């Protein structure tokens, strides 16, 4: 039985920068909840048909996954599918909506063992996985929006400092509680 967990996040950053950040496999462990490391064995640029080696974890259990890029449309779609199980896949969809980019992530995976594991998954597992995907997307959103905010603040800082408006630094005041 194939199960899916799908979530989305609206990110205040250009679709190109969001796509480039998601496409950088070295950064996956910083924002994607289940990834310990992700590398390309041949160090080729990502494209359709390229193989990717990913080390994943769930609690204390770790395993290696070989994924192939099955769908690659720049700034629109990025899909990974496992070599040995078509049910195991990760899909990213990028939608530009004005100044906001909607990133949707769908994780598909098989559930083995018949009715009882499927019932357990329907009650507990799917909610847990959806929550983990949602937290990952929120973390990615915060990273990208902070990076976008840093560049705009840095530009504004340099423009103001050129005018000569210098303010003295004020030390933070301690707050006593109790």
Query: How would you write the pLDDT of the chain (178 residues) with one tens digit per residue?
Result: 677 888 999 999 999 999 999 999 989 999 998 889 998 877 778 899 999 999 988 778 888 889 999 999 999 999 999 988 777 899 999 999 888 999 999 998 877 888 888 788 778 777 888 888 999 999 999 999 998 776 555 444 444 434 444 444 444 455 555 4
What is the extent of the structural domain holding 103? 2-155
Q: Report yes or no on 90 lying in a domain.
A: yes
> What is the tally of structural domains in the chain?
1
Q: Report yes or no on 174 lying in a domain.
A: no
Sheet arrangement for strand 77-82: 2-11, 100-110, 89-97, 77-82, 61-73, 51-58, 35-39
Q: Report yes or no on 166 lying in a domain.
A: no
Q: Report yes or no on 177 lying in a domain.
A: no
- pTM (2 d.p.): 0.76
The CATH code of the domain that includes 116 is: 3.30.530.20
Please give the Cα distance from 20 to 2 (Å, whole number): 29
The total number of residues shown for the chain amounts to: 178
Answer for the pair 134, 53: CB distance below 8 angstroms, yes or no: no
Q: Is residue 12 helix, strand or coil?
A: coil
Q: Report yes or no on 115 lying in a domain.
A: yes
Give alpha helix (H) positions in 53-173. 115-120, 126-163
Q: Report yes or no on 118 lying in a domain.
A: yes
Q: Compute and round to an integer the Cα radius of gyration of the chain.
A: 21
Answer for the pair 103, 13: CB distance below 8 angstroms, yes or no: no
């Amino acid at each position: 039985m194939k199960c899916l967990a799908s979530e989305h996040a609206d990110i205040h950053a250009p679709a190109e920068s969001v796509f480039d950040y998601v496409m950088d496999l070295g950064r996956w462990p910083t924002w994607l909840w289940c990834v310990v490391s992700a590398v390309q064995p041949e160090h080729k640029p990502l494209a359709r048909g390229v193989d990717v080696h990913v080390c994943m974890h769930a609690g204390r259990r770790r395993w290696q996954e070989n994924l192939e890029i099955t769908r690659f449309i720049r700034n629109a779609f990025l899909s990974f599918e496992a070599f040995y199980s078509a049910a195991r896949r990760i899909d990213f969809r990028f939608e530009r909506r004005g100044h906001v980019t909607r990133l949707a992530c769908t994780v598909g995976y098989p559930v083995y063992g018949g009715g009882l594991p499927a019932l357990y998954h329907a009650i507990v597992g799917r909610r847990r996985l959806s929550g983990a995907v949602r937290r990952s997307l929120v973390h990615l959103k915060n990273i990208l929006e902070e990076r976008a905010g840093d560049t705009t603040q840095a530009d504004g800082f340099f423009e103001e400092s050129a005018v000569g408006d210098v303010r003295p630094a004020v030390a933070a005041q301690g707050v006593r509680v109790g």
